[in-house]
Amino acid sequence: MSEVLTKRKMMSFEEWFKLLYHGYFEQPFQFEQLSKPGYVGDKIVPNDLNDLTFGQVVELQGIQEVNSMFIVPLRVILGMSTDEVMQSSATEVVRFAAWAAREMERINKLFASTNRKPIDKERKAGIESLRFGIFGTVDYYAQRMGIKDHEEVMSVPWMRVYKCLQIDSEKAKYELRLRKVYESENGRK
């Protein structure tokens, strides 16, 4: 039994991925429950993804393919080449990918929390047509900060972009509540 565990720990990601690709594993493993590794190869894994740029977050959000979910996070976050990833421990790579996916879920929830529910009048006016995705966020931040080149926004720490969205969202919610208070008071007169 310990020999099997030793072989697993020593298996390269390339070997493991070939087994996965060819359907060797009968039962899916609990990907989302894997713990964060301390290292992948000789690279130290950060405690969180708070130090990434907005561009790095956008790149991680764009992952669509299974093989990309293992390689892209290691390239973006730790600067590893595909060859380095393939030669790294399968256990470390898979645990890293699971941790990175959880971190991205946390980041996505933070950005989603800056959205407020539109009121009926806004819906009637067609506010849903004003959803512009990532470009809209980049454009918003560029305008807010007086940045002329949208590419410059991609190098800004994502936490700064999020905090600006959060502040402006809270202000908009407050202004809506204040307007309702004024309407309510004017209705009583």
Q: Residue 81's pLDDT is what? A: 96
- Asked if pLDDT for residue 54 goes beyond 60, the answer is yes
Tens digits of residue pLDDT in 35-45 = 999 999 999 99
Residues in the chain: 189
Q: Residue 189's pLDDT is what? A: 63
SS3 44: strand
- Asked if pLDDT for residue 17 goes beyond 90, the answer is no
Q: pTM value?
A: 0.83
Q: Which residues of 99-124 are buried (b: 16+ CB within 10 A; e: fewer)?
A: bbbbbbeebeeebeebeeeeeeeeee
157 phi-psi bin (left φ>0, alpha ψ -120 to 50, beta other): beta
Q: Lowest-confidence range among 75-84, 115-124, 167-176, 178-187?
A: 115-124
Tens digits of residue pLDDT in 146-182 = 999 999 999 999 999 999 999 999 999 899 889 889 9
Q: Which residues contact 14 (CB under 8 A, 6 or more apart)?
A: 86, 87
